[in-house]
Amino acid sequence: MLSAIVGINWGDEGKGRMVDLLSESYDVVVRYQGGNNAGHTVINHLGKFILNLMPSGILRPEVVNVMGNGMVIDLEHLHKEMGKLIAAGVKITPDNLKISDRAIICLPYHVMQDCLEEERLADAKYGSTRRGIAPVYGDKYMKKGIRVGDLLQPEALKKRLKGIVEWKNLTIEKVYGAKPVSYEEIWNWLETYGNPIKDFICDTSLYLDQAEKAGKKIMFEAQLGALRDIDFGIYPFTSSSNTIAAYAPIGSGIPNHKLHNVVGVMKAYSTCVGEGPFTCELFGKEADDLREAGGEYGAATGRPRRVGPFDVPASRYGVRVQGADEIALTKLDVLSGFEKIPVCVAYDVHGKQVKEFPFGADLDDAKPVIEYVDGWNCDVSKCRKPEDLPKAAMDYIKMIEEAVGCKIKYVSVGAEREEYIEF
């Protein structure tokens, strides 16, 4: 059984919470793309955890967690993240964490280049998290990347690293006019943060292939959402990796296997971190009220999220490109205090009402078409069965289900593990 948990919208939909919930029924959880620009929040009996690199299954001791070949891994950040988890009582050993030898290492000069480029762009910036993600993926496709498995072959790595550092400094010095990095400092960084993880490095492709053939249940955990996918997202305001479910077997190392089920995660309203078009965005007090009610601040960056009503065109598009079989709707409880709830049902593009997600400049010019539905104005956090929900809440769920064309299987009514309803 191969299942993917993916984001339908701009990211920050609550994927970590759903992976933590559903991983109880799985043997393996795999991260297959992205780096520490992710921020998956999980709350359980041990406390509140914000996971940037680690798969969310790490909080279940019986689950094996895999960091796949499609990831880019900042070793220093990984070292600190593992340390925090261990200090909180989370077990992490080579038995329950496996790191692909083919994953690319995000190095200090990638972070430096990311920051320099955002500063150069100034007001035209893309809203990068400044964690080196675009530069490291660029180097991967330029064939200038360093892979995690290279740490196990230090002499060969030393020879290759010298040439790569020389090449990278051409950009750092001559394009940005910044101080060059030294081979010695990069090598010391690799030794400092690479040596502690050597026992975790393995051929995860082989491991996952054998696990699936042995009948293990495998869950793939995506970072960000469909609208941040490098191919299908709002380009160039995207991430630098493929966030869609179809990439999961590739980014995990098992392209010879097919997904059996895709769970798309979306909020009961819309949020967005970063720059670029966000047609349904609210402003002023209406936005402030929703942001505070939902605690909408980026888990990875702490940045205030842009907020808006549920966006039908964007969500229907996300469901389609993700190939979602079922939906997990999160944060329904956040809307409990609103008497009337806005919904973006369509876009106005140059005076024409459109219901499909636009491309390029048409999206830039789009304006939201808003309709209001009745709220339920009562606490739903104690509801555990569909029949416990007030009628207005059920009507809202059914409206979304029909609008996006996909069955809603799970509805979260709070942040704790047990605060959800299964339909």
CATH architecture type of domain 2-100+202-263: 3-Layer(aba) Sandwich (3.40)
Half-sphere exposure of 92 (CA within 13 A, CB side): 27
145/164 Cα distance (integer angstroms): 8
User: Six-digit token pair at 13?
Assistant: 């939909």
Find the catalytic residue in 12, 20, 27, 74: 12
- For 195-222, the pLDDT digits (tens) are 999 999 999 999 999 999 999 999 999 9
Active site residue 260: no
This prediction's pTM: 0.91
- Do the bridges between strand 28-31 and strand 64-67 make them parallel or antiparallel, or are there none, so unpaired? parallel
Q: What is the pLDDT of residue 119?
A: 83
Contact 53, 85 (CB under 8 A): no
Q: What is the pLDDT of residue 43?
A: 73
- For 90-144, the pLDDT digits (tens) are 999 999 999 999 999 999 999 999 889 888 877 666 666 788 899 999 999 999 9
Q: What is the pLDDT of residue 359?
A: 93
Q: What is the pLDDT of residue 121?
A: 76
Strand partners, 363: none
Find the catalytic residue in 27, 40, 101, 110: 40
Active site residue 325: no
Averaged over successive runs of 10 residues, the pLDDT of the chain (423 residues) comes to 95 85 90 86 76 90 95 97 93 97 97 89 69 93 97 96 96 93 96 97 98 96 94 94 96 96 96 89 91 80 86 98 97 92 96 94 95 92 94 96 97 89 95
Class of domain 104-196: mainly alpha
Closest CA to 301 of 6, 9, 12: 12
Q: What is the pLDDT of residue 184?
A: 96
Going from N- to C-terminal start, the domains of the chain cover 2-100+202-263, 104-196
